[in-house]
Each structure stands twice: as structure tokens, then as C-alpha cells.
Structure 1
Amino acid sequence: MTESHDENEEEFEFSRNYFLAKELAGSGKKSTHKLSDISIVDEQELRAATADIEPKHEREIASLINSYKALYSKWVFELRCGFGLLMYGFGSKKALIEDFASTALKEYSVVVINGYLQSINMKQAMIAIAGVLWDQLKNKGRDSSGSFPKGQQPFSSQSIDSLLAFFDGPQVEENDCCVCVVVHSIDGPALRGAEFQLLLARLASCSHIRIVASIDHVNAPLLWDKKMVHTQFNWCWYHVPTFAPYKVEGIFFPLILAHGNTTQSAKTAAIVLQSLTPNAQSVFKILAGYQLSHPDEEGMPMDNLYTICRERFLVSSLVTLNSHLTEFKDHELVKTRRHSDGQDCLYIPLASEALEKLLSEISD
């Protein structure tokens, strides 16, 4: 009886203290500080500081990597059997997979897809894979495919379905021609869409293709259904934490603790624009000029841009303009948002200062 009474007293004391603490907390003054008040450093300065961090536990990590290297022969055997290799675990797997490819896959031709990039042209990647496979088949004196004329490589004019049919040609020997496709960060931002994952799954199931990939996000397996995992990708899962920093992968993502660097943003965009055609650059300049002269508007209406481009003989049709805009959007130079009147408007996601710097960069 005494013990039960003590327990009730203790529970009552806990409850009383809890509500007393809540009351005192509510009566206190609320902080006026905001997240925007935090003093944050320049992105280049922060990246330089992170690069100077000394690695720890190097001996233990080296021993861990060596234990993975002992699995190389097993991984090659599984690839030969038609399985795909999927690496997961904390840390960048890029160096490990590239070491595996360069040392253990010498009998294969290897094509690398960097999924951590912001945009990827899968059609161009498949054309590159087709060219590599074509060379292998020619070197072995094999009939490359009934679908493609001999003596030339017309892959750029072929549809994706035709390319997949070429990759899925008949196997004659056990160690027949194969291309190993390495996909770093198969769950990367440019590959997360269902369309890309279905295409990669179809590619992985082709007879002349072997795939080695890595994932970095904990929810990456949600990208695939049962058929994709067990029939098309046919994954062999390997937990290979490397504890290596994501140095290369992280270059393409803004740092949380750093503010945008106007000069750096303008230079990066200028590099992309300088690789485009003069007409594409001129279209971009029209859009930039409109945005600078109409800072309070939500963007430039598509019809306005098309009219000006036609008047200046920069485009001959709406199809041509859309091709330029698609290229801008792929590189995240231009974005679309809905105007208050319901029509879509185009805008450049840069501050006025950065946009002025960008125009001066591409005009030099």
C-alpha cells in the first residue's frame, strides 16, 4: 500500500512539473531572431574550408576498401551470369566502382553515366553505348545487327526502341560481346523520373548490356517495382559503406550554409551559354533584357518572345524556339511559371545583378 502511494505521488509530481514548465515557457518572451539573421559565408570559402578537413580513421577505411576489393572476382562472375550490381551504403561509391571497372572489367567495354549531374541526355548515352558495342561486334567479325546497315553507324537517327533492339541481339557464346554500363547515383536528380528509370530497366535487361550502379538516398528502392528489381535490373545488392566524402557529387549541389555567389552563378551560366549556337544565345539575351527592363513582372510571355525572335530572324517557327527553350530548361537557365492571367511565362532564375554580369560575360 505504501509502495503504491509512493508511485502515485511520484506520477503526480511529474505531471505537476510538466504543466508548470509549459506554463513558464508560454509566459516567457519569444525570440525575435530569424533564420535570415544568421551570418553565412560565401560558397567558395565554405567549399575551401571543407576541402581542408583532415580525413580520420584512414587505416580502418583502407582495410574496409580492401575487403571490398576481395569481392571483385565474385562481382565479375555475377555480371557474367546476367545480374546487375547495386552498391549502397554511407559514403561515395564512385572511386570504388571506378577501381572495380578499371581493374576487373578489362575484358568489357565500359560506359559511364554520371547520375549526380543536374541533367542527362539518355538518348546520347545510348548512342555512345551503341557505338561501343558496334566496334566490339566488328572486331569479332560478327554481323552487328540486321537492323543497321553495315559499314556505318547510323545510331543518331535511330529511335530508342531500335537501339534497345540492337542491345538485345542474340547471344552466340557464353563470353559474347557485352558493354558494362556504370551508373553513378542511379537515384540522382536527373534520373529519378519514372520515364528514366523504366528506360534504364529496359536497358539493363538487354542481352549485350551489364549494369553496375550506386544509390545514395535511403528511399531509392522506391523508384522500382518488383518486375524492375527482380527481372529487368536483376540486382545483386551490396552494402559497401566507404565513408568517403561526396566531393565530386557535391559540386553540383548548393551548400546549405552558403549564400549564392553572384559572380560564380554568372560564370557557370556563361560557360553553358557559350557552348550553344549564336541564335540560342541571342534568344536568351532577348529574354534577359526583358526581365531586366520589367523587374516587377512574373516573366516574359511565350507569345511575346516568339514575336520578337521572328522579327529578328532568330527562329523560323515555334518548333525552333521550343528547341532552344528545351535546351535552356535542361541546363536550368530558364524556368516557367504561371502568370496571374493564366498564361505561362518564361523567366531566368537569377538576380538582376547576376543577370547583368552574365550578359557582360557572353557579350565579351
Structure 2
Amino acid sequence: MAPKRKKVEVEEKEVRAQEEVEEEEEDEEEEELAFSRNYFLAKEVGSASGKRSAARKVSEINLVDEQLLRASLSELPTKHEKEIGSLLESYKGLYSNWLFELRCGFGLLMYGFGSKKALLEDFASSTLTSYTVVVINGYLASVNLKQVMTTIAEILWEHYKCKAKTSTGKKQQTQLPNGLKSVDDIVTFIVDISDDCNCSVCLLIHNIDGPALRDPDSQQHLARVSCCSCICLVASIDHVNAPLLWDKKMVYTQFKWSWHHVPTFVPYKVEGLFNPLILFSSGHVQTTKTALVVLQSLTPNAQSVFRVLAEFQLDNEKEEGMHVSELYTKCREQFLVSSQVTLNAHLTEFKDHKLVKMKRHSDGQDCLHIPLPTNALEKLLQELV
């Protein structure tokens, strides 16, 4: 009887142990479920109150005056001046290698953290003494590529005239040939005349990825000019997506970039002077940039429809807006839309991206209005190619 009794006791203990394990697992599951419920309940309450508080706080922000902010930034002490000076001094030992690469037909592309303006200008003034250096400040939004190309063409034309006069003894005309109206015409002239010029021109471009040069047409023009035998290129980049500006042909066949990692850790003081400060420009500047990005992602027809509306708004500033029927008539005349359905599709896209607002005119009809001031709208149309 004793073995049986022991066996029963062992089985009872195992059952009790199993029950205890199951109870513990149930308790753990209940604790997890309670924790999950409390977590999501807290998130719902927190998000609701957070939205209200965030909306209130954003509207109450007082943005600092730009001049005061720039003055405060200028007073910040520069750190590690000795180390930065030693780093820049070490790069001077590479000048001869860079010059050798230029003479071999490569273009120099400098990248790395810090302003490279002083470094490149020191390289040009100390090493490129046999070159005619043309400096292009690509960080300026007002850079006029046509003017730059005209300057290059005038330099080559002067050398071409000197060579022609030496060989023929006849006086050549002093002005550029007529008919060079577009940038493409000037670039073609530079390419045609470059083989007959006994000169060396170096284009020193600070920030070839700058706002005024990063469009495809400007990059194509610079790439064509860089192929000329008498022209070499030294440029810097700072934008993280700068390599996306070029395809394989431009990189390996036209620019022939020789990449150099030259971090200087020098503050972007000069380059930053011409960019709006984040803590200051939270209004129309950012809105214009956002609108430009959205419009560039749309079809050419959609951009043209937006331009019709924008030009009407600029020409009729006192008007409350443009009637939808009037916009349809003008777009139909310019063959931008074929039906009201097509126009409505464009307008829906504009309204979804908050490019255009619909409001009721005083005469009861719906009219369209672009929520941008006149100066911002003019700048948007200039940048929208």
C-alpha cells in the first residue's frame, strides 16, 4: 500500500505544480494585457492633449530678429583654431598633385565638412599662376550662368584675336560675334573656338551644387565647357545629394572628376550670409521652397496651368481671385487642357498640396487664389523653369 500511496502523493504534487504554473502564466498574461491597455490609453490621452498644447505653443513662438541673431552668431568664439590651421597647412603639400591632375585633363572636386572657399582660393592664387582663373560663387542664388559663360567667351575671344592677328597681321573685331543670345549659343561658341586659343582658363566654382547651378541645364552647360581643351575645372560640393546631379557620362567623360576629401572644419560664414536662418525664416521663404518642390514634381501641363493662375493674380492684385471658368477658358486657348475634367484634376492636385485655395467670390462664384504674397509668387515663377 505504501508504494501506491507515494505514487498518488507524487501525482498530486505534480498536478498542484502544474496548476501553480498555469496560474502564474494567467497572472502574467493579465498583467501584460493590463499594461497594453494602459499604454494605448495613455497614448490616446497624451496625443490629444499634446496636439492642443503643441498648437498653442507654436502659435505663441516669438521669432528673433534676423540681425540680432546674426550678430549673436558672429560673437561665438571659433574653436580649435590651431588644429584647423595645421590641417589647412597640410593640404598645401597636395597642391602640386592637384596641379598635375588638372594638366592631365581631370577636374578637381573637393568635398568634406567645412568651408573650402579659402582653401581653393589659396590654391588658385599660389599654384594656378599660369591660368586665367574665373571664380564662380555658386552658393549665391543670384548667380547668372549666362553672364559667366559670356565672360569665358570674352576671355577666349581675346586670345583668339591675338593669335589671328599674329598669324595674319590683320586687326580683328573687338566684340563677340552677333547672334549669341542664349546660353546654349554661347557654350557652342566656346566649344568651337577653344581649340584655336593658346590659353589656359580655370573655372573655380565654389559650391557647384549651389541653388542657382543645380538644375540640369546649368550642369549640362558646365559639363560641355569642361570638355574644352583649354578649360579646366576646380569645384567644391557640400550638399549631401550633390552626386545625383550627374550621370556616368558627365562624371567620367565630361567633368572627369578626381574626388578629394578635404574636410576643413572651417565655419560656413561667407556661404551662410546668403541663406535665410532657420530660426528666422519660417514664413514665406520656406513656403515658396515647398511650393517649388511640389510644382517641379508635377507634369509640365500642370505647371503651365499654375503659371496662368499666378500671372493673373500678379496682374490683378486687387481682385479676390480668378474664376474657375475664366481659368478654363485661358488654359483651353493655350491648349493646356482639353476638358473641364482635366482642369479639375489639376486643381485637385493643387488643393491637396495647398498650392491653391478656393473661396467664394463676392458675386457668389467660386474663385481660385494662391496663398503667397506678390514677391514670393514672383520668385516662385522665376525659379519654376
Work out whether the TM-score is over 0.5. yes
Letter in 2 for 1:80: R
The reply to whether residue 106 of structure 1 matches residue 129 of structure 2 is yes
Cα deviations across residues 143-167 of structure 1 (Å, max 9, x unaligned)?
A: 6999xx9232215742534543434
Instruction: Kindly report which structure 2 residues correspond to 1:218-297, keeping only aligned pairs within 5 A, or say none.
Output: 218-259=240-281, 291=317, 293=318, 296-297=320-321
1:26, 1:342 → 2: CA distance?
Answer: 38
How far did residue 54 of structure 1 move? Answer: 0.6
Q: Which residue pairs with 1:128 in the alignment?
A: 151
1:339, 1:20 → 2: CA distance?
Answer: 42
Instruction: Kindly report which structure 2 residues correspond to 1:15-94, keeping only aligned pairs within 5 A, or say none.
Output: 20-28=38-46, 30-31=49-50, 32-34=53-55, 35-94=58-117
Measured at CA, do residues 259 and 94 of structure 1 come closer, stay the same or move farther in structure 2, by a change above 3 Å? same
1:247, 1:217 → 2: CA distance?
Answer: 16
How far did residue 59 of structure 1 move? Answer: 1.0
- Structure 2 residue corresponding to 1:206, chosen from 219, 228, 239: 228
Structure-1-length-normalised TM-score: 0.64
SS in 2 for 1:33: helix
Contact 1:116–1:184, Cα closer than 8 Å, also in 2:
yes
How far did residue 69 of structure 1 move? Answer: 1.4
1:41, 1:77 → 2: CA distance?
Answer: 49
Contact 1:127–1:155, Cα closer than 8 Å, also in 2:
no
The reply to whether residue 118 of structure 1 matches residue 141 of structure 2 is yes
Measured at CA, do residues 59 and 130 of structure 1 come closer, stay the same or move farther in structure 2, by a change above 3 Å? same
Contact 1:88–1:241, Cα closer than 8 Å, also in 2:
yes
Measured at CA, do residues 344 and 60 of structure 1 come closer, stay the same or move farther in structure 2, by a change above 3 Å? closer
**Structure with more helix by fraction:** 2
Contact 2:206–2:235, Cα closer than 8 Å, also in 1:
yes
1:41, 1:14 → 2: CA distance?
Answer: 48
Measured at CA, do residues 169 and 156 of structure 1 come closer, stay the same or move farther in structure 2, by a change above 3 Å? closer
SS in 2 for 1:71: helix
Measured at CA, do residues 259 and 229 of structure 1 come closer, stay the same or move farther in structure 2, by a change above 3 Å? closer
How far did residue 289 of structure 1 move? Answer: 9.9
Higher CA-based Rg: 2
2:206, 2:146 → 1: CA distance?
Answer: 17
Letter in 1 for 2:375: P
SS in 2 for 1:190: coil
Identity of aligned residues (%): 48
Cα deviations across residues 268-297 of structure 1 (Å, max 9, x unaligned)?
A: xxxxxxxxxxxxxxxxxxx98963x55x54
Structure-2-length-normalised TM-score: 0.61
Cα deviations across residues 240-277 of structure 1 (Å, max 9, x unaligned)?
A: 11112222222222111015899xxxxxxxxxxxxxxx
Task: Flag structure 1 segments of 5+ consecutive residues without an equivalent.
Answer: 263-286, 304-336, 352-364
Letter in 2 for 1:150: Q
Contact 2:152–2:190, Cα closer than 8 Å, also in 1:
no
Q: Which residue pairs with 1:312 in the alignment?
A: none
How far did residue 194 of structure 1 move? Answer: 0.9
How far did residue 81 of structure 1 move? Answer: 1.0
How far did residue 65 of structure 1 move? Answer: 0.7
Measured at CA, do residues 15 and 233 of structure 1 come closer, stay the same or move farther in structure 2, by a change above 3 Å? farther
Letter in 2 for 1:84: G
1:344, 1:23 → 2: CA distance?
Answer: 41
Task: Flag structure 2 segments of 5+ consecutive residues without an equivalent.
Answer: 1-20, 285-312, 328-354, 359-366, 378-385
Measured at CA, do residues 81 and 298 of structure 1 come closer, stay the same or move farther in structure 2, by a change above 3 Å? farther
Measured at CA, do residues 346 and 145 of structure 1 come closer, stay the same or move farther in structure 2, by a change above 3 Å? farther
1:144, 1:20 → 2: CA distance?
Answer: 91
What is the CA RMSD across the aligned residues, in angstroms? 4.1
1:297, 1:96 → 2: CA distance?
Answer: 52
How far did residue 103 of structure 1 move? Answer: 1.2
Query: How many residues align structurally?
Result: 277
How far did residue 135 of structure 1 move? Answer: 3.0
Contact 1:133–1:178, Cα closer than 8 Å, also in 2:
no
Contact 2:322–2:368, Cα closer than 8 Å, also in 1:
no
SS in 1 for 2:54: coil
Cα deviations across residues 280-335 of structure 1 (Å, max 9, x unaligned)?
A: xxxxxxx98963x55x5479xxx9xxxxxxxxxxxxxxxxxxxxxxxxxxxxxxxx
Measured at CA, do residues 44 and 298 of structure 1 come closer, stay the same or move farther in structure 2, by a change above 3 Å? farther
SS in 2 for 1:41: coil
Letter in 2 for 1:25: K
Measured at CA, do residues 165 and 25 of structure 1 come closer, stay the same or move farther in structure 2, by a change above 3 Å? same
